[in-house]
Chains A and B, each alone.
Chain A
Amino acid sequence: MSEEISFEEALIKLEEAVAQLEQGDALTLDESLQAFEEGVRLTRLCREKLDAAELRVQQLVEVDGDVFEMAPFEVEDDGEI
């Protein structure tokens, strides 16, 4: 499940789902179940985003004035960032 929303957006939606669900009687059972499903889906999405996250590092190389190229950047050391 790779969805193009940011971690922050997912967390905000998750908070909304929890808040909705906590309204209790204001929702029908079906609406509550939808909020619950959405919440479960979003917690999973957030966790997947954390699991899949890999630090991406690039180095800017100035070509000319405001023109830049990106180059991969490796930290000089024991090879482990």
Chain B
Amino acid sequence: MFPTGKIYKVHEITQILQGILQSEPMLQDLWLEGEISNLARPSSGHVYFTLKDNNSQIKCAIFRSAASRLRFPMQNGDAVLVNGRLTIYDARSEYQIIGERVVPAGVGELQLAFERLKEQLAEEGLFDPIHKKPLPKFPQKIGLITSATGAAVHDILRLLQKRYPAVEVLLFPTLVQGEDAAAEIAHAIACMNRLPGIDLLIVGRGGGSIEDLWAFNEEIVARALFKSHIPTVSAVGHETDTTIADFVADHRAPTPSAAVEHIVPDQEELRQQLAAVRYNLVRSITGRIDVVRTKLENIQNRIPPTHRIDAINRLRQTVDQLDDRGQRGAAQQLKGKQRAWQIAAAQLDTLSPLATLARGYSICKDSSGNAVTDAAQVVVGEEVHLRLSRGQLACRVLKGEIDV
């Protein structure tokens, strides 16, 4: 009636079983298939649910840190695969799954491999924006890694020719599907990185099934892309295809053609920009010349006509020099101005103070050459100079009467 052996506490049994479970590697990393029910997401951030099949059920807990990485929006009734480890919840002595990943069931092996690698590489930081290298604005030498006979090479070259042919393309032909494709692509990326002068790499192929595109989901390609010091652009398949290469590359182009549109400017746009810049140049210089002309006209009104002719001659010389340098556009701009100046000069001659002087007026200047227009400018005894129609006089001021 009385116990003869050791008497265990409840939690000791749990501990023993826990130890047995932990010593079994298979139970520490297993994939379990079932249907989600009793899904609960309390505010703690942990996620709880029951995984059922026809006959049995097991409780699952996904702790907050793992739950935050779940990309798949779980709902009751979803058929899923849960990856995690088997443990015992000691408060109830129930065994349960501590889940790390959840993916929809029914996805193929490839999809599963894709998800696993994607998660692994994301954890390692291969997709981090901090590693993304900026692409050159005007690439000059583009390394192209794709099949020499596929649709992608054709699309890319034809669009480059049309959009921005000022580039050199180095094609490294590789297989883009089949068993050896991934290794060839990775090798090509590494080789391109040892060649001089390549400033951008495009790695891609045209559309196909997930199997066709598989090379671009292989780890070896992902790591080669990550190691590339040349900026990389992935250009795989159609818009809806996403590969691991897309996540690692510095830029993901949805299609090979889109890659070209992203990496080089459009020459038509460039030509329009150049025309606009040229227009601005002409407008700026015209404005500048107008400012100078206004200044010149102000000065002309204050300097003797002989000096004025010098100023005009100097501008004329500038125009001639521009002509010599073959800058017809600039010269013509100036020639227009020159004509305006010539007309202005002719007008000024008819209004010249010389004509006024001939009528008996004179110009009075102080010793520094300033025109004396106000008696207050000079003092008694100061020497002033009079410019007459012919010749000059040095005079001394005897008396001043200042108008008040």
Q: Determine which of A11, A24, A40 lies in contact with B329 in the assembled complex, contact meaning CB atoms within 8 Å.
A: A40
Q: Confirm or deny: B301 has a beta carbon within 8 angstroms of a beta carbon on chain A.
A: no
Q: Please indicate the chain A residues that have their CB under 8 angstroms from the CB of B138 in the complex.
A: 6-8, 11
Residues from chain B with Cβ under 8 Å of A21 in the complex: 281, 284-285, 288
Interface contact B166-A50, CB-CB below 8 Å: yes
| A73 cross-chain contacts in B, Cβ below 8 A | 148, 171
A14-B191 CB under 8 A given contacts A40-B329, A49-B166, A55-B165: no
Q: Contact: B284 with A36, CB < 8 Å?
A: yes
| Given contacts A8-B138, A55-B169, A57-B171, A81 and B157 within 8 Å (CB-CB) | yes
Q: How far is the CA of A53 from the CA of B160 in the complex (A)?
A: 11
- Nearest CB in chain A to that of B188: its residue: A60
Q: Is B271 among interface residues, defined by CB-CB distance under 8 A?
A: yes
Q: Which parts of B261-302 form the interface with A (CB within 8 Å)?
A: 267, 270-271, 274, 277-278, 280-282, 284-285, 287-289, 291-292
Contacts of A25 in B (CB 8 A): 291
Complex CA gap A11/B138 in Å reads 10
Q: Are B157 and A75 in contact (CB under 8 A)?
A: yes
B195 CB within 8 Å of chain A: yes
- Contact (Cβ within 8 A) B149 A56: no
Residue pair A39, B171 in contact (C-beta under 8 Å):
no
Main secondary structure of the interface of B (DSSP, over half): helix
A8 to B282, CA, bound (A): 22
Instruction: Say how far A72's CB is from chain B's closest CB, in angstroms.
Output: 10
Contacts of A56 in B (CB 8 A): 167-169
Say yes or no: B173 contacts A59, CB within 8 Å.
yes
A58, B169: Cβ atoms under 8 Å? yes
Q: In this assembly, does A62 line the interface, its C-beta being within 8 Å of a C-beta of chain B?
A: yes
A3 at the interface (CB under 8 A from B): no
Q: In angstroms, how far is the closest chain A Cβ from the Cβ of B152?
A: 11
Q: List residues of chain A with CB within 8 A of the CB of B6.
A: none
The residue from A7, A32, A33, A81 contacting B166, defined by CB atoms under 8 A apart:
A7
Contact with A along B315-340 (1 / 0, CB 8 A): 00010001001010110000000000
A4 within 8 A of B: no
Tell me the bound Cα distance from A52 to B310 in angstroms.
45
Assess the A32–B285 pair: CB atoms within 8 A: yes
Cβ–Cβ < 8 Å partners of B292 in chain A: 29
Q: Tell me which residues across on chain A come within 8 A of B153, comparing CB atoms.
A: 75
B158 within 8 A of A: yes
Q: List 27 A-B contacts (CB under 8 A).
A: A18-B277, A21-B284, A24-B284, A32-B285, A32-B288, A36-B330, A37-B322, A37-B330, A39-B278, A40-B281, A40-B327, A40-B330, A49-B166, A50-B271, A53-B267, A55-B160, A58-B169, A58-B171, A59-B171, A60-B172, A62-B191, A70-B170, A73-B171, A75-B153, A75-B157, A76-B149, A81-B161
B-binding residues in A (CB < 8 A): 6-8, 11, 14, 17-18, 21-22, 24-25, 27, 29-30, 32-33, 36-37, 39-40, 43, 46-47, 49-50, 53-60, 62, 66, 68, 70, 73, 75-77, 80-81
